[in-house]
Structure 1
Amino acid sequence: MSEKYLSKNFTLAQLTFSETAKRLGINNDPTDRELNNLKTLANFLLEPLYKITPFRISSGFRCLNLNRAIKSSDTSHHVLGFAADLVPTKISPEEFAKKIRASKIKITQCIIEFGWVHVSLKLDDVRMQFLVAEKTKSGIKFKPFNS
């Protein structure tokens, strides 16, 4: 069985695989709507970002059950197929975020997290928002990324 490509370089498997889903027996298959969102994400955001620097996808689509299993927010863009977490392989997450900002590629959010960069694209919500996540005693807080 051949892999289903969503774009030139990215497959459905790359954007839906989850060790947690596998371990817990959670079906992480997207609906048709979520699949269309993943195609948009792959073609209009991930492909242009891949031209900036290579990366691996550590997390893409997460069905609601999987998202809850990892204790993420129900409103996460991952649940709708609008987001992916990327680990750049040749530069730091901070340097990647700087290059994303300089590229002016349309993006909803770019968040430097804890060794990866969360990126999302919702075409009707192109905010160009750049943030840094920080762990605090009261939880994770987000502040503007100004570098």
Structure 2
Amino acid sequence: MNITENFTLEEFVHSDTAIIKGIKNEPGSRDKLAITNLCAKLLQPLRNAIGKPISINSGYRCQELNAAVGGVPTSQHQKGEAADLSIEGKAGDLLEVLEDSGLPFDQAILYRKKNFLHVSLKLEGEQRKQIIIKQ
């Protein structure tokens, strides 16, 4: 099911860990609303701005999956409000485009060594526009 032109619900909930461990990673209706919000207001506009494909490494995670992958208990992934993104090349380029774009976001965490960018967008409440860079 397409959420936006370049993002599907299937890729947002896909997890090799969930498959291996037999975890049912299905978002609820509020989670689906948050996923749609994230894709429509942040991921698709970011994809359009960078002009090349963005891969979702990790999107929605149910509580059991989040624990299985070592996610923090308060992870926004559990609410459908976060995604870990990769592009061909350096993920830092994606952060640069995000910073220049003026798009709304709650958090952007660049993982340089692992070469991905975590982004989040709250469904409700004020966005922190917090940028963190980890080695």
Normalised to the residue count of structure 1, the TM-score between the two structures is 0.84
Q: Secondary structure at 1:23's aligned position in 2?
A: helix
Q: Report the equivalent of 1:42.
A: 39
Give CA deviations for 1:93-142 in whole Å, capped at 9, x if unaligned: 112111110111111011101210000001423111111124xxxxxxxx
**Deviation above 4 Å: which 4+ runs of structure 1?**
none
Paired residue type of 2:115: G
Separation in 1, partners of 2:18, 2:48: 30
Q: Secondary structure at 2:133's aligned position in 1?
A: strand
In the TM superposition, residue 79 of structure 1 has moved relative to its aligned partner by 0.5
Q: Report the equivalent of 1:127.
A: 128
Q: Report the equivalent of 2:49.
A: 52
1:111 paired to 2:109: yes
Separation in 1, partners of 2:23, 2:45: 31
Greater relative contact order (CA < 8 Å, ≥ 6 in sequence): 2
Give CA deviations for 1:42-99 in whole Å, capped at 9, x if unaligned: 100111110122211111000000000011111001000000000012x411121111
Q: What percentage of aligned pairs have identical amino acids? A: 35
State whether residues 108 and 119 of structure 2, in contact with CA within 8 Å, keep that contact through their aligned partners in structure 1: yes
Separation in 2, partners of 1:115, 1:82: 20
- Consecutive unaligned residues of structure 2, counting only runs of 5 or more, are none
Paired residue total: 130
State whether residues 46 and 97 of structure 2, in contact with CA within 8 Å, keep that contact through their aligned partners in structure 1: no
1:76 paired to 2:75: yes
Separation in 1, partners of 2:10, 2:65: 16
In the TM superposition, residue 28 of structure 1 has moved relative to its aligned partner by 0.3
- Consecutive unaligned residues of structure 1, counting only runs of 5 or more, are 135-147
Normalised to the residue count of structure 2, the TM-score between the two structures is 0.92
Q: Which has the larger radius of gyration?
A: 1
